[in-house]
Structure 1
């Protein structure tokens, strides 16, 4: 995993992000290639087969701040739909310095709009948060790291569901299965609602 995290990864960044804080932060640790042929505000990590589209919350609606009749920007919706059709592992990062009521309303509307797609939504407060999200996901889904994480999750899940693990924990607490079942049944009988 240290090889994965210490290497300079190639990242394809849309030219619309050329002079942004996010691009500068990515450039410190990774090989950036700017492209005009990608969807606006996207970053693609080819080694992980992951793509991100970054949307500032104030650009997501036709009116900002939100007023009575508002809707999501149709041009943005079209761009996100194109992004979803091109990238199977896509993430939409919605950025706002503060996620107040208006921002959460827009975020929820985006979630509702793309609920039935494979697109995953993440909030981020600034460029640093955005870069951190992207790097964490990209590193976790890269081949050697993803295999290790998957193996550890399977072991943890197997141990969690194992009866032997439960019995071991109970014995560490000085109890056995019979004691737990007996105490649980007593508590349930105390909390039963009397019938009318």
Structure 2
């Protein structure tokens, strides 16, 4: 007896990572999921780039930052990253229970408020990998087109079945 199990094929993509992440746990986790990983010496340390979705992620671990924070070069490093990558995310790796982690978060939020930088606090490597893959998949072709189509269908359905829209149509 043959059984067929319906399953969605696992999403796989190419990821360009800085060579500084070659021995990082996230590199191993992404490889285990069979993503194509290319290392590059020309990328800022701690960078993941998803070419098909146009997203870039910069990993910052507050434990790796020297004191005082203002002299650590962190703001300059993030500023350069934001200027180079239009769709940029900062992965702030920390359990957020120590004063230094909160200071780093506040410093970054204050400095980059209103910029195109999105800050993603992550507590573990598993959370980090899940977050970057979710964002990259949702913003890459053909997935972004499917999401757009579903949103259009949902919008059309809401408009068709909304009593407010019916009342507005009747008024015109």
What is the TM-score with the length of structure 1 in the denominator? 0.71
Greater CA radius of gyration, 1 or 2? 1
- C-alpha separation in 2, matches of 1:49 and 1:164: 36
Q: CA deviation at 1:143?
A: 1.6
| 1:75 equivalent in structure 2 | 73
Q: Where does structure 1 lack aligned partners over 5 or more consecutive residues?
A: 64-69, 168-196
Matched, 1:19 2:23: yes
- Detail structure 1 runs of 4+ shifted over 6 Å in the superposition: none
Indicate which of 61, 77, 100 corresponds to 1:56.
Answer: 61
Matched residue SS, 1:52: strand
| 1:91 equivalent in structure 2 | 89
Q: How much is the aligned-residue C-alpha RMSD, in angstroms?
A: 2.3
Between 106-115 and 16-25, the greater mean CA deviation after superposition: 106-115
Matched residue SS, 1:44: strand
What is the TM-score with the length of structure 2 in the denominator? 0.80
Q: Where does structure 2 lack aligned partners over 5 or more consecutive residues?
A: 1-7, 165-172
- C-alpha separation in 2, matches of 1:106 and 1:7: 34
After superposition, give the CA deviation of every residue in 1:104-135 in whole Å (9 maximum; x if it has no partner). 33212211111121111000011111111110
Matched pairs, number = 156
Q: CA deviation at 1:40?
A: 0.8
Q: CA deviation at 1:166?
A: 5.2
